[in-house]
Amino acid sequence: MSKRKIQFSLLYRDMFQSSGKYQPNIGQLKKIAPVIMDMKCFARVETNGGGFEQVQLLYGENPNPAVRYLTSTFHEGGIQCHMLERSLNALRMYPVPKDVRELFFKVKAAQGVDISRSFCGLNDVRNLELSIKYAKESGIIAQACLAITHSPLHTVDYYLDVVDKLAEMGADEICLKDMAGVGRPIMLGKLVAGMKSKYPKIPIQYHGHSGPGFAPASILEVAKAGIDYIDVAMEPLSWGTGHPDVITAVEMLKSDYDVPAINMSAYMEARRLTQEFLDDFLGLYVSGSNRFMNSLLIGPGLPGGMMGSLMDSLGKSLTSTNKWLTKNGKPELSMDDLMVRLFNEVEETWPALGYPPLVTPYSQYVVVTALRNVELEVKGREKFSMIDDNTWGMITGRSGKLPGPLSDQINKLAKEKGKEFFTGVPQDLYPDALDTFKKEMDENGWEAGQDEEELMELAMHPEQYRMLKSGKAKEAHEEDVRKKKEAKETTAAAKSEKVQIEPTTITVTVNGAPYTVTIGDSSSAPAPQASQAAPTAAPPQIQHAQPSGAGTKVHAPLEGKFYLVTKPSDVAVQVGDQVTEGKVICYIESMKTFNEVVSPCDGKILTINSKPGDDVEDDDILMEIG
């Protein structure tokens, strides 16, 4: 009897996104792609989507040549290329107009993308309907996702009901997207078995992160139930908050299933190159803690895809929080203290916000709210008093229908703030916009590009694309890499300095004979007497630049980047403008969300103390109103 075939997909994009902040640039991708092809064990490779294009733009590089190169290279080896897209949000963190979504699929088809993995973080099939439609019309395989999580609401029957609706919409394939790896293995097996029983001709792909430790068992369960494709990673970025290694997956399954052999020479070369990229500069953005599996991740259910950037944000939050604690004469927190507080707070915040599956962008909304709650609680302020506008959009239905009810506290806050709830189709809230971007390209003398890919890029990522065209993106990235390398070298130099140990003399007895032993560096200078020791310095006081005006000071509620507006169409306040109490006067961007800062009083803006894009710290004085 022949063995049932199971094929593998390499998540080279997601390997980096799940480990750190950035991904390989086009020069690095051109080195690795032929080697991946030579491994001869992958039916599919994830070539783009999600944060891939934003990252290339942040490097100051156009992502379109990279996508075309990758697809053409893998097609030569008979490998299908798939991308990840966020349905209503397409490739970004906020909703995309309908005409831009349609152009996006046409461009990706022309660039050689074979499969579109589309997901709605809320499992609202209304957001997936256009993704399925536009993919199929463009000749792309429409793979629709189930955003897997573990809650009282997310049962096998819940997901099978979603599958029925996706099948009715014409989805070609289904992906179990277990972005946090918290789906329980037996439940996932039952879900795949139920899908195969009802829709035996629809291929199913399993995507599971390994952070909490369930992934190998989940692979075995979905394999037994009839899975067709399994997502994998490879060293040096497998496991941890990433995905199981292809070697382990092959070895687990090959006795009972038809799985491909791995060209290990090519594997080792791909491993070497990937480490080379990390040593070059990508490792500067990878947190060491993301290279480990951690059962503490089971509780909060945080996705691997956000853990890379989360650790960077937590470091900034810790610095800011500890400055406040020091200034107020209170003991500092350690990173472990902050992380455990955050994980515990996520477990409370998540159900309060209606149990949205923790996947981009809703994982960011929940985690940012939870982190703000931790910071507010440390400072003795009321929880949920600092919810950003994007999160309010999710709460009020502008992103889709939440799986569960909101808590009484959130409903009360919404009523107090006059928030209106929306129950219609979210896409209807975002009018077509391509004509506006076409006009901008004409005015700047920019070409729409092959298959209008440049127009799509501007419309999809307007701010990043403008930074690319101005050259500022490349400058900013190179400067950031330079600073991080200098900081790394300084830290390494400090660690390498010889630590002098005060010699200590003790007497030990060996076989009845006493011996005098000196422990430490006997050649080092004697330790100073207590009277000679340097006095302990008092902790430095945190100083903030004081504006020259004499009005009411507007303080930053958290650390992040300062912006006056979030959209080009908005009008920024200026010195001399009259504002009323409660009016939004600026924003702090933190962890990919924009947090409103409102005027504390009626009056005239006397000073604006930061420029758009400046880094600010918690409690910095942003403006003065008098």
pLDDT of the residue at 527? 38
- Residues 6 or more apart whose CB falls under 8 angstroms from that of 19 comprise 237, 240, 241, 242, 286, 287, 290, 291, 307, 308
pLDDT of the residue at 379? 86
Neighbours of 477 (CB within 10 A): 20
Tens digits of residue pLDDT in 91-110: 988 899 999 999 999 999 99
CA nearest to 47, candidates 57, 37, 60? 37
> Among residues of the chain, what percentage have pLDDT more than 70?
89
pLDDT of the residue at 603? 93
Candidate from 121-135, 300-314, 495-509 with smallest mean pLDDT? 495-509
Indicate whether 118 pLDDT > 80.
yes
Tens digits of residue pLDDT in 242-291: 999 999 999 999 999 999 999 999 999 999 999 999 999 999 988 787 77
Residue 87: pLDDT band with limits 50, 70, 90: very high
Give the alpha-carbon dihedral of 180, 184, 186, 190, to 10 degrees. -60
* Strand partners for 562: 588
Q: What are phi and psi of 607, to 5 degrees?
A: -145, 150
* Strand partners for 10: 45, 232
DSSP class per residue in 491-537: HHHHHHSPPP---EEEEEEETTEEEEEEES-TTSPPPPPTTTSPPPP
The span from the first CA to the last CA of the chain, in angstroms, equals 84
Beta strands (DSSP E) in 244-396 are 257-258
Indicate whether 111 pLDDT > 60.
yes
Q: What are phi and psi of 603, to 5 degrees?
A: 155, -170
Indicate whether 37 pLDDT > 80.
yes
- Judge residue 438's burial from the number of C-beta atoms within 10 Å of its C-beta, 0-12 exposed, 13-18 middle, 19 or more buried: middle
Of 340 and 124, which is predicted with more confidence?
124
Of 30 and 381, which is predicted with more confidence?
30
Tens digits of residue pLDDT in 492-521: 777 766 544 455 555 554 445 555 545 444
What is the average pLDDT score of the chain?
88
Q: Which domains does the chain have, with CATH numbers?
A: 10-288 (3.20.20.70), 295-429 (no CATH), 440-470 (no CATH), 552-625 (2.40.50.100)
Candidate from 67-71, 200-204, 288-292, 392-396 with smallest mean pLDDT? 288-292
Mean pLDDT for 464-489 is: 92
Mean pLDDT for 220-237 is: 97
Indicate whether 126 pLDDT > 80.
yes
CA-CA distance, 21 to 349, in Å (whole number)?
25
Mean pLDDT for 176-181 is: 94
CA nearest to 50, candidates 282, 306, 399, 426? 306
* Strand partners for 83: 48, 116
- Residues 6 or more apart whose CB falls under 8 angstroms from that of 200 comprise none
* Strand partners for 584: 598
Angle 96-102-435 from CA coordinates, rounded to 5°: 70
CB 282 within 8 Å of CB 22: yes
Mean pLDDT for 20-24 is: 85
Mean pLDDT for 400-412 is: 95
Of 431 and 307, which is predicted with more confidence?
431
pLDDT of the residue at 524? 41
SS3 137: helix
CA-CA distance, 364 to 343, in Å (whole number)?
13
Exposure string over 73-107, b if 16+ CB within 10 A, otherwise e: bbeeeebbbbbbbbbbbbbbbbbbbbebbbbbbbb
- Residues 6 or more apart whose CB falls under 8 angstroms from that of 255 comprise none
pLDDT of the residue at 582? 84
> Among residues of the chain, what percentage have pLDDT more than 90?
65
CA nearest to 127, candidates 392, 383, 384, 394? 394
pLDDT of the residue at 532? 34
Mean pLDDT for 319-331 is: 87
CA nearest to 395, candidates 415, 410, 382? 410
